[in-house]
Chains A and B, each alone.
Chain A
Amino acid sequence: MEKLVLMLAQMHPDVDFYNCASLIDDGIIDSFDIISLVADLNEEFEVSISAGDIVPENFNSAQALWELVSRLQNE
């Protein structure tokens, strides 16, 4: 989880990812970040995030993102 937050912080240092739960809705992460995030996550955790997974529920908070990654890990 920490690695994930580290990655996010690299993109947007000024955001407290631990308890912000509206990254997409408030437009903090835009389509740029999503794409490169997906590329990094796939590389880092050897998962393959499909287009179907790119929905606001999964990307709105670091926690949701972590759940997505872990779910895909034991796919």
Chain B
Amino acid sequence: MSFISYSFVAFLAVLYVLYYLLPKKTQWLLLLVGSLVFYAHAGWYSFIFILVVAAVVYTAGIKIQDQYDARDEEISANQQLFSKDEQRQIKAQAKAKAKTFLAASLATVLGILAVIKYTSFVINNVNSIIGSNFVPYRFILPMGISFYTFQSVGYAADVYWEKTRAERNPLKLMLFVSFFPQLVQGPISRFGELSGTLLSEHKFEPKQAAFGFQRVLWGFFKKLVVADRLVILVRSLILDPAAYRGAYVVLLVFFYAIQLYSDFTGGIDIAIGAAEMFGVVVAENFARPFFSKNAAEYWRRWHITMGAWFKDYVFYPVSVSKAMQRISSKSRSTFGQKIGRRIPVYLTSIVVWAATGIWHGAAWNFVVWGLLNCLVIIVSQEMEPAYKKFHEKYPFSNTRAYDFLQIVRTFWIMGFIRVLDCYQNVPLTFRQVASVFTASNWSVLFNGSLLELGLSEADFVAVALGCIVMVSVSLLQEKGSVRELLAAKPTVLRYSVVWLALASIILLGAYGIGFDANQFIYNRF
């Protein structure tokens, strides 16, 4: 069930009314039922996978928790009897057993994801390398498998690291794994943060309801008015790369950036807004990424929960692992302190970014996309001292104008890397980007050929309007929550703003027959 379907709107309305009618105790159960109904729309085939992943992670959690509880009990029971070494020995033993449960559960869950998502990719590559011709079998990707798998892995790891206690009630854990707003495209939540607000009882508060509803409206506005309209333009540019080269590629980079931003953040706003209406606070996933002045900052503002997830569950574990420690000490001894300390971190970053890339999709363009991002971050990290000197030498570089320049620069760098998503073919992407520098069809941007790409003037007006609204809201958000601002205003103004949003969604939205609105970019992947 897609967020922008009539059935989702009806589903949300019904669930919302029931949620505040039923006794508080059963609220989380209703959310679970709602999530399962929401998920069942994706077909029974997908259902099995989410159940299995939840079950595996649930048992692992319980087993690990049992080890730790047994250990604590043993130690506290005969506090004086055991010497320090014996205590350390018991703890190590418990840790080792817990580790095997963790390893087994991760192997299964990630194994399932790997098999379902990457079999054909691996077979194709094996075929091309050794010339064999196995038949690459493509599985249907169950909805949201990449997201709930990561969320479950995070849960198991947190229990192992004793960051949170394991959830004894399987249904409550199932709700954590399958909570419908974040199922489709995240955000990837942490059990420690989410379980509290998700499983607690919520009284109906008008302010919270209004805020949640406004945020859902905001998500629909971005998704329907801007994103689904631009998809038409982006698609026509992508489907015929030979015809649309040179200046068109710049156009594609620009419009795909806006399209992906409004599509993804729109979807996340609907998710977070919907959760907020039920009183559940979900982690933020974007913080106005296009205002970032460098790549590192961009990745602290774009898809925040994914970045955090890879940092906590891939970057640190790898860099703290024994193997990496050895490399780190060896590199520091051979290359000296300054360079030596960088190499392990760069090595780990490359691993992390390659993983991030491949997670996005089973194709080389995603891997290259990840590595390019990594390269840009490492280069800007290396240039740090040079930048510092540059800033000290030239005072103008600390002015707002220079900041704006940096923002534009980051926008375009990220845009050109992101266009790998569109062509889904690495050599083709590089050829297209190269064609920009040898382009001679710059007139295309002004001589009205823009209108032959599937969008009329009226469409461009709607997109421009949408962008102006998005930019101004983002500027306001830099200072504080826009909804608080609105709440302070008189009710008449607040209602008219809500009316305006509703009217622009219904009238200007690119939905229904004639607009082949596609799914969220990240849906079902």
Please give the residue numbers on chain A whose beta carbons come within 8 Å of chain B beta carbons, in ascending order: 31-32, 34-36, 38-39, 42-43, 49-55, 74-75
Contact = CB atoms under 8 A, between A and B. Distances in A.
17 contacts: A31-B315, A31-B345, A32-B341, A32-B345, A35-B328, A35-B341, A35-B344, A35-B345, A36-B328, A39-B328, A51-B161, A51-B316, A51-B317, A52-B161, A52-B162, A74-B88, A75-B91
Contacts of B161: 50-53
Q: Is the interface of A mostly helix, strand, loop or mixed?
A: helix
Given A74-B84, A75-B91, A52 B160 contact: yes
Contacts of A39: 325, 328-329, 332, 344
A75 B160 contact: no
B312 A42 contact: no
A13 to B, nearest CB: 14
Contacts of A51: 161, 312-313, 316-317, 320
Contact of B329 (A43, A49, A74): A43
B207 interface: no
Query: Contact size class for B?
Result: 20 to 34
Contacts of A35: 319-320, 328, 341, 344-345, 348
A11 B409 CA distance: 31
Contacts of A74: 84, 88
A38 B319 CA distance: 9
A9 B315 CA distance: 25
Of A36, A51, A75, the most chain B CB neighbours within 10 A belong to: A51
B319 to A, nearest CB: 5
Contacts, number: 51
B342 interface: yes
B71 to A, nearest CB: 12
Contacts of B328: 35-36, 39
A75 B88 contact: yes
Contacts of A36: 328, 332, 341, 344
Nearest to B346: A32
A34 B84 CA distance: 29
A38 B320 CA distance: 7
Of A35, A36, A53, the most chain B CB neighbours within 10 A belong to: A35
Contacts of B316: 34, 51, 54
Interface string B208-242: 00000000000000000000000000000000000
A6 B36 CA distance: 55
B163 interface: yes
A55 B312 CA distance: 9
Interface string B455-466: 000000000000
B459 to A, nearest CB: 43
A35 B162 CA distance: 21
Contacts of A52: 157-158, 160-163
Nearest to A35: B319
A39 B161 CA distance: 19
Contacts of A49: 320
A75 B311 CA distance: 26
Contacts of B311: 31
Contacts of B313: 51
A43 B329 CA distance: 10
Nearest to A10: B337
A42 B329 CA distance: 11
Interface string B313-356: 10111011000010011001000000001101100100000000
